[in-house]
């Protein structure tokens, strides 16, 4: 087991962290070259993550009590295994805090949560041009599921499809 | 709006449908050339889908009151849009009922559920060799998200990662 610098701490997020979470979401959208697409508001995150039936959970990584990064996740389900899976939607470390093992510490903590909560798998997605990230994930034991393509219907196409339903 | 044959009906699944759902899951695993990987049991599905906090939902398509196919889904979350998304894990129509529009009817019904429940997106995955399915989905307005790769840690690699967490 490697040592995490004493300055770094990982904790679950609460409602008071929503402004910070929103900054991280926007920071990641910029890194992924789509800043204009991150339109979520604080009200959205409060309603969906910190009410009676949360749709997601968030970990905050702190460096000397300053929020340095986050992991945003929820659970999916494997029909083959009959068990939930942990799905990591967003992982982000602020540029000035990189290179200190914070991203890795978040991933390890998520793996522990997955095991503790009976998950069979821990999945996430990565952009195909992000070679350093892919290699980092592979070094941790992750595999690229090359044969699976993701399909999406959204916006007007989704409404058009819905309108045809019986 | 096209017409669905009067013989076809779509309804939400209940606990009594678990044996049928299990048959469909195994049928799909065979079609995807991995029958040995579908090890979920009836107890697993009952516990995770039909208790106090269901982890998934299922639609059953009936042809003259015989179960002909199913859609197995749950909700994910878009941090960019601040809205849930509908994720289709499994879609399957028994071979003898294909070519009657049952798969399409299930997809349309899922699109309607997505819109009704405030989802921004409707996503699923498809194997890259399944060209007929990909073309069928594209004709319905779905797009292939080619630039996104799925990463997965599971089994021993997941336990190893979890054991390193602080």
pTM of the predicted model over 0.90: yes
| pLDDT given for residue B1 in this prediction | 46
Confidence of residue A166 (pLDDT cuts 50, 70, 90): confident
Q: Would you say residue B43 lies in a domain?
A: yes
Confidence at residue A101, expressed as pLDDT on a 0 to 100 scale: 94
The three-state secondary structure class of B140 is: coil
Is B133 part of a structural domain of the chain? yes
Identify the CA nearest to A82 among candidates B73, B58, B48: B48
Q: State the residue range of the domain holding B125.
A: 8-163
Mean pLDDT of B7-31: 96
Sorted by sequence, the CB contacts under 8 Å of residue B165 that are 6+ apart come out as: A105, A108, A109, A111, A112
**Residues of chain B with pLDDT > 70: what percent?**
98
Model pLDDT for residues A27-60, shown as the tens digit of each residue: 999 988 889 999 999 999 999 999 999 999 999 9
**Does residue B51 sit within a domain?**
yes
- Give the tens place of pLDDT for each residue, B88-138: 999 999 999 999 999 999 999 999 999 999 999 999 999 999 999 999 999
CATH of the domain at A145: 3.40.630.30
- Average pLDDT (A91-100) is 95
**If DSSP codes are grouped into helix, strand and coil, which group holds residue A3?**
coil
**DSSP-derived 3-state class of residue A24:** helix
Radius of gyration (C-alpha) of chain A in whole angstroms: 17
Query: Taking 80 as the threshold, does the pLDDT of residue B5 lie above it?
Result: no
Contact present, B24 and B102 (Cβ < 8 Å): no
pLDDT band at B2 (very low <50, low <70, confident <90, very high): low
- For A82, other C-beta atoms within 10 Å of its C-beta total 22
The whole-chain average pLDDT of chain B stands at 95
Do the beta carbons of residue A102 and residue A93 sit within 8 Å?
yes
Residue % of chain A over a pLDDT of 70: 98
- In a domain? residue A128: yes
Per-residue pLDDT of A108-143, as tens digits, reads 999 999 999 999 999 999 999 999 999 999 999 999
Nearest by CB: B77 against A74, A140, A148: A74
- Separation CA B5–CA B101 (nearest Å): 9
Chain B interface includes A50 (CB < 8 A): no
Residue in A44, A56, A151 nearest the CB of B142: A151
Whether A115 sits inside 8 A of B158 (CB atoms) is yes
State how many domains chain A has.
1
Which pLDDT does position A38 carry in this prediction? 95
* Residue A3 forms part of a structural domain: no
Q: Are A48 and B82 within 8 A, CB to CB?
A: yes
Position B2 in a domain? no
For β-strands A148-154 and B121-127, DSSP reports them as antiparallel
CA count, 13 A, side-chain hemisphere, A154: 17
Q: Is residue A98 part of a domain?
A: yes
Q: Identify the pLDDT of residue A6.
A: 79
Nearest to B115 by CA among A44, A163, A56: A163
At CB < 8 A and 24+ separation, what contacts does A37-41 make? A37/B80, A37/B81, A38/B79, A38/B80, A39/B80, A39/B81, A39/B82, A40/B78, A40/B79, A40/B80, A40/B81, A40/B82, A40/B83, A41/B82
B97 burial class (0-12, 13-18, 19+ CB within 10 angstroms)? middle
Q: Which candidate from B2, B79, B111 shows the least CB-CB separation from A72?
A: B79
Q: What is residue A150's predicted lDDT score, i.e. its pLDDT?
A: 98
pLDDT over 90, % of chain B = 93
- How are beta strands B83-93 and A121-127 bridged, if at all? unpaired
What span, in angstroms and rounded, lies between the C-alpha atoms of B86 and A153? 10
Q: Is residue A2 part of a domain?
A: no
Mean pLDDT, range A11-27, rounded to an integer: 97
Chain B neighbours among A 60-99 (CB < 8 Å)? 72, 74-84, 87, 89-90
């Amino acid at each position: 087991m490697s040592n995490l610098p004493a300055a770094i701490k990982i904790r679950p997020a609460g409602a008071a962290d929503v402004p910070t979470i929103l900054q991280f979401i926007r920071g990641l959208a910029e890194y992924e070259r789509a800043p204009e697409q991150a339109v979520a508001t604080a009200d959205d995150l409060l309603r969906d993550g910190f009410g009676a039936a949360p749709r997601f959970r968030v970990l905050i990584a702190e460096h000397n009590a300053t929020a340095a990064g986050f992991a945003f996740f929820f659970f999916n389900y494997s029909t083959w295994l009959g068990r939930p899976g942990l799905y990591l939607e967003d992982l982000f470390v602020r540029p000035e805090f990189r290179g200190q093992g914070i991203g890795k510490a978040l991933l390890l903590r998520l793996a522990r949560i997955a095991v503790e909560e009976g998950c069979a798998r821990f999945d996430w997605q990565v952009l195909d041009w992000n070679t350093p990230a892919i290699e980092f994930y592979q070094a941790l034991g992750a595999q690229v599921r090359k044969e699976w393509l993701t399909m999406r219907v959204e916006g007007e196409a989704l409404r058009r499809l819905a309108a045809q339903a019986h």
